[in-house]
Amino acid sequence: MIEILKEFPDNVVAISCEGQVTKEDYEGIFVPAILNALKRHAKIRLLYKISASFTGYDPGAIWEDMKIGVEYPTRWERAAVVTDIDWIVQTVRLFGFLIPCPTKVFSPSEESQATAWIVDAN
């Protein structure tokens, strides 16, 4: 399940994931939020919180995630991933060179630093 987090600047798409994330979550929630932000801004930022209750992605969700990133490679300004799920931390670190913007991984105890980094004007 994906939930859009409110109270962020207009150029930030902030989401929280828990349980199983499906293709429908991406198509119905995540992708529309990204496309709406891209209509308003030349570049956008992403705060991606993954809770300890996260159980995984459906194959269709993985495809939608890769597709949205590849379709707009120059429109991403930065991304913050907040999680303590080891395989996600390792995947982001291992394949970070494929992500089209500066990306940092933060532990849940560092969520305030992740938020500060993602909303910082610099």
Query: Which of 52, 47, 54, 55 has its CA nearest to residue 111?
Result: 47
Indicate the number of domains in the chain: 1
pLDDT per position as a tens digit, 58-107: 877 777 777 777 778 889 999 999 999 999 999 888 888 778 889 999 99
Q: Is the pTM of this model over 0.75?
A: yes
State what percent of residues in the chain have pLDDT above 90.
70
Q: What is the CATH number of the domain that holds 87?
A: 3.30.750.24
Domain containing 52 equals 2-119
What is the DSSP code string of 61-88?
HHHHHHHHHHHSTTSEEEEEEE---HHH
